[in-house]
Structure 1
Amino acid sequence: MTLRKWFHLFWTTLLLGIIVSIGIGLILQYSDKDFSVMGLSAVGFNVLNMLLGGATISVLSQMGFFAYLIVRFIVAGIIKSKTIWNLLQLAIVIVVLFDLVYLRMTNFEGTGTVFSYIVLPVIILLISLGVAYWKVRLTNRNAFIPTLFFMCAVSVLEAVPALKLDNAASSLFMLAPLLVCNAWQILILHKILENKKS
């Protein structure tokens, strides 16, 4: 990867994070009167904070993406069997989605039904499956499990600050740009590295 390609990835991801954050933030602000960024309710000031929040979330997404690529490179040197590595990734995805339900339900007990805690992991799983399917269409079938792992496990790990709150608006404000940025990076990676579809 050249510096020019990395700049392209960085700035496009940053722009996507900002656009999605401002869009989601404005929708939340006009649909939920209690929603405000940093406790302030002035629209102009909130748009500036949404812009900064989106930029921060996109940079967090990029840090997670490069951390995943480094971990994947290291694990590929340790675990020689691609089947074992894929099974390990699937197991981690299942554990992360289960923990997302169980830990939130136990931490926020009494504030919702079991169904209300299952909705978020199901949405994340469906989005991840869609992105993984799209990645397979763009590249090859070997990309399905790594993409699913990145979109589920890494996205949930990156979103921990928002998931610690029992607030749907906070989760949406962080998860929407995070998932969009993660999807963008994983879907464009093969073009940046110029890997041809086999």
Structure 2
Amino acid sequence: MTLRKWFHLFWSTLLIGIIASTITGLILQFSDSEFPVPGISGVGFNVINMILGGATISVLSQMGFFSFLIVRFIAIGIIRKKFIWDIIQLALVIVALVDLVYLRFSNFEGSLWAYSITPILILLASVAVSYWKVKLTNPTAFIPALFFMVVVTILEAVPAFKQDSAASTVFMLVPLMICNAYQILNLHKMSDKKRS
């Protein structure tokens, strides 16, 4: 990956995060009947906060993405057999999803079913993105993409999960998922070598 490609990835992911969080925030603000909608100046102030929040979320997403690339590089160097590394990644996906349900259920009041909805949605979106990645590249990309979309997204969204607020979870998780999907789907474009 060249510096120019990284620069492009950084700014495009930042813009996507800002747009996604602003749209998500406005939908949450105007769809919540208990949330008092302030005047124009209040909405403008909230939009500025949404933009700053989206920028922060996109930078968090990028840190997670580059951490994933480094961990993957090290793991492939240590674990020589791809089959074993794929099994480890799948096991971590299962552990992350189960822990997300169990830890929230044990720390907050609510039904097990209510805390299962978010991991199910994360899994469905991750499978869709991973399938799309396979269509863009090759079948070996499915498990790494699934691992990144599930495990890394859950780790990045821990601050929202600690609050036990549906609005906070949606506001952080939607832009994270969009930024992570954008990055993993464009990774092969960043690392393509020119053919002579």
TM-score (norm 2): 0.94
In the TM superposition, 1:119-130 aligns within 5 A as: 119-130=117-128
CA offset at residue 35 of structure 1? 5.1
Pair 182,159 (structure 1): closer, same or farther in 2 beyond 3 Å: same
The amino acid across from 2:159 in the alignment is P
Alpha carbons of 1:154 and 1:29: their partners in 2 closer, same or farther (altered >3 Å)?
Answer: same
Aligned length: 190
Alpha-carbon distance in structure 2 between the residues aligned to 1:163 and 1:34? 22
Instruction: After TM superposition, give the deviation of residue 181 of structure 1 in Å.
Output: 0.2
Tell me, which stretches of 5 or more residues in structure 1 are unaligned? none
State TM-score, norm by structure 1.
Answer: 0.93
Deviation of 1:32 after TM superposition, in Å, equals: 1.2
Whole-angstrom distance in 2 between the partners of 1:61 and 1:3: 18
Deviation track 1:149-190 (CA, whole Å, cap 9, x = no partner) reads 000000000000000011100000000000000000000010
Give SS of 1:42's match: helix
Q: What is the CA distance between 1:194 and its match in structure 2? A: 1.5
1:103/1:195 CA distance change after superposition, 3 Å: farther
Give 1:160's aligned residue: 158
State yes or no: 1:10 paired with 2:10: yes
Letter in 1 for 2:29: Q
Q: Which residue in the other structure is 2:84 paired with?
A: 84
1:192 is displaced (CA, Å) by: 1.4
Amino acid at match of 1:158: E
The residue type paired with residue 162 of structure 2 is K
Between the two proteins, what is the percent identity of the paired residues?
67
> Which residue of structure 2 lines up, in the alignment, with residue 24 of structure 1?
24
> Using a 3 Å threshold, how does the CA distance of structure 1 residues 88 and 52 change in structure 2: closer, same or farther?
same
Note the 1:1-198 alignment, pairs <5 A. Answer: 1-34=1-34, 42-109=42-109, 112-194=110-192
Which SS does the other structure have where 1:80 is aligned?
coil
The one-letter amino acid paired with 1:164 is K
Whole-Å Cα distance in 2 between the matches of residues 182 and 35 of structure 1?
Answer: 29
Deviation at 1:122, TM superposition (A): 0.2
CA-atom RMSD in angstroms: 1.4
Instruction: Tell me how far 1:42 sits from its aligned partner.
Output: 1.7
Q: 1:80-135 CA deviation, whole Å, 9 max, x = no partner?
A: 010000000000000000000000000103xx221111100000000000000000
For the Cα contact (< 8 Å) 1:28–1:35, is it kept in 2?
Answer: no
**Deviations 1:19-63 (CA, angstroms, capped at 9, x unpaired):** 000000000000114559xxxx92110000000000000000000
In 2, Cα distance between equivalents of 1:14 and 1:124: 21
- Distance, in Å, in 1 between the alignment partners of 2:47 and 2:171 is 13
SS at match of 2:163: coil
* Runs of at least 4 residues off by over 6 Å: none
- For 2:154 and 2:35, locate their aligned partners in 1 and report how far apart those are by CA, in whole Å: 22
